[in-house]
Amino acid sequence: MTAHRPYVGRFAPSPTGPLHFGSLVAAVGSFLDARSRAGRWLLRIEDVDAPRAVPGAADGILKTLERFGLDWDGDVVWQSARLDQYRDGFERLKAAGHVFPCACTRREIADSALARDGSRIYPGTCRGGLPPGRRAHAWRVRVGGRIEFDDRIQGHQEEDLATEVGDFVVLRGDGQFAYQLAVVVDDAAAGVTDVVRGADLLGSTGRQIHLQHLLGHPTPTYAHLPVVVNAAGEKLSKQTLALPVDDLVAPDAWLGALAFLGQNPPAALRGAALTEIRRWALDHWSPTGIPRQAAGPPGPA
Ligand code: GLU
């Protein structure tokens, strides 16, 4: 569907802390995939979830990307400046009857089965209308049907949204638009053709494709990179105290990211300048070499 459109990729970090090795891998992977195909590589700061944004984190991320030679095209897009666009998207869903108000509290759905991202599968309580005397505090989008897509790295994916996810929240009780809606609105507005990101987001993709269908947006091509885990097999995040990449020497961290992505950087690049490593990586970028899963805990080369 998107083959005839010029490649537009993006990196979309959430400013919840400094970049760690896992997010560097996503940045390097999406950067190389875009630039090796003469595509644009956009940067979006995902600060739609205002309560989770850490002051100063976004500026730190921009500086880190510059230090790592990951230069983006155009202006940085800030989700916090795009609330009107999310409201438009929401209003379009509402006008078409795709969303409904929901009064359920977290505790009321706590007995439902778990979806694969750890959220609860919505049991449909308010789907046909609010229970008498109850007040809505969130809006959910109706789901139905199977979503299928071919991930360039993870292979064929299928998800039955009704049984595996349930109607999901697009506007939260605290007035915040959900990440799923914001991403879909933003990727469409920017003309993103190719999403390259960590496989921890594989479980969100079905929901995003569903929203693309409802809003009439094209579906990008997806490539979900292996998730970086620590020695205990846990995803790297602030909670697992992953080392911020700022504490690493940039060329070493690049070589570590390339090795993790199955690109086999030659030993001769050890000690080379960052621009030389980046040039080699662009010339030799091989998406087919990327493993589905991490072979083991990574480290800078
Ligand atoms: N903001 C998300 C994260 O940092 C990434 C979203 C995306 O790439 O679609 O995990």
Q: 2 pLDDT exceeds 50?
A: no
Is residue 70 included in any domain, yes or no?
yes
pLDDT digits (tens, 9 = 90+) for 204-241: 999 999 999 999 999 999 999 998 877 666 666 654 44
| Same domain? 211 vs 251 | yes
Is residue 116 included in any domain, yes or no?
yes
Is residue 274 included in any domain, yes or no?
yes
User: Which of 4-8, 93-97, 111-115 has maximum average pLDDT?
Assistant: 93-97
Which DSSP helix (H) or strand (E) runs through 255? Answer: helix 250-260
The residue segments making up the domain with residue 145 are: 84-179
Is residue 301 included in any domain, yes or no?
no
Cα(132) to centroid(ligand 1), Å: 38
Give the span between the Cα atoms of 73 and 70, in whole angstroms: 10
Cα(268) to centroid(ligand 1), Å: 33
| Same domain? 275 vs 195 | yes
Q: Which of 160, 179, 198 is the last residue of a domain?
A: 179
Q: Which residues line ligand 1 (CB under 6 A)?
A: 12-14, 46, 183, 197, 201
| Same domain? 188 vs 280 | yes
> Which comes out higher in pLDDT, residue 105 or 87?
87
Cα(14) to centroid(ligand 1), Å: 6
Measured in residues, the chain has a length of: 301
Q: Which of 179, 213, 242 is the last residue of a domain?
A: 179
| Same domain? 153 vs 201 | no
Domain count, the chain: 2
Q: What is the pTM of this model?
A: 0.93
Cα(34) to centroid(ligand 1), Å: 17
Alpha carbon separation from 102 to 65, 164, 172, 228, 230 (Å, rounded): 40, 19, 10, 36, 39
| Same domain? 188 vs 62 | yes
CATH number at residue 36: 3.40.50.620
Residue nearest to atom 6 of ligand 1 (CA): 12
**Nearest ligand 1 atom to alpha carbon 183:** 9
So what's the pLDDT on residue 106? 87
Calculate mean pLDDT across residues 112-139. 90
Instruction: Determine the distance from the C-alpha atom of residue 230 to the mean position of all C-alpha atoms in its chain, rounded to a whole number.
Output: 20
| Same domain? 58 vs 188 | yes
| Same domain? 174 vs 260 | no
Is residue 295 included in any domain, yes or no?
no
Cα(12) to centroid(ligand 1), Å: 5
| Same domain? 55 vs 98 | no
Is residue 284 included in any domain, yes or no?
yes
Apex 89 CA angle, 14 and 185, nearest 5? 40
Mutation probe of ligand 1 site: the residue of 65, 72, 197, 224 with most atoms within 8 A of C-beta = 197
